[in-house]
Amino acid sequence: EAGVAQSPRYKIIEKRQSVAFWCNPISGHATLYWYQQILGQGPKLLIQFQNNGVVDDSQLPKDRFSAERLKGVDSTLKIQPAKLEDSAVYLCASSLTQILAGGRNEQFFGPGTRLTVL
């Protein structure tokens, strides 16, 4: 079974530029998560989708970050314009469903995209 795919693996941009990250979850997984992992910290949830609907984007900086999951499969996370503090690894994860709350439904993580903003 193929895992969660992410691209690109690395990206370097200047501040105020735009960047987009792509995620392809495991086939059949209804729930998709984007996490931000700043160096030396644990991942922090940015946004969670159930199929193509957003169920939690409370920690997404909506003035510069946006995400979509068209057709309930692939997802794109965009930053426009980027700031220095956006330098981090952006992790995508997927799970079968969110319905089995309480962690009984395992999340599978992709390798991440390492973003450096200069």
Partner 1 sequence: GNSVTQMEGPVTLSEEAFLTINCTYTATGYPSLFWYVQYPGEGLQLLLKATKADDKGSNKGFEATYRKETTSFHLEKGSVQVSDSAVYFCALSDAGGTSYGKLTFGQGTILTVHP
Task: Give the binding site for partner 1 (CB under 8 A).
Answer: 3-4, 31, 33, 35, 40-45, 48, 50, 55-56, 91, 93, 95, 98, 100-112
Neighbouring CB atoms inside 10 A of 24's CB total 18
Closer to partner 1 by Cβ: residue 3 or 28: 3
Closer to partner 1 by Cβ: residue 52 or 105: 105
Q: How far is the CB of 100 from partner 1 (least distance, A)?
A: 7
Three-state secondary structure string covering 35-90: EEECCCCCCEEEEEEECCEEEECCCCCCCCEEEECHHHCCEEEEECCCCHHHCEEE
Q: How far is the CB of 42 from partner 1 (least distance, A)?
A: 3
Closer to partner 1 by Cβ: residue 70 or 101: 101
Q: How far is the CB of 83 from partner 1 (least distance, A)?
A: 22
Task: Look at the chain and count its residues.
Answer: 118
Please check whether residue 86 is in contact with residue 117, taking contact to mean a CB–CB distance below 8 angstroms. yes
Closer to partner 1 by Cβ: residue 72 or 111: 111
Amino acid at 81: P
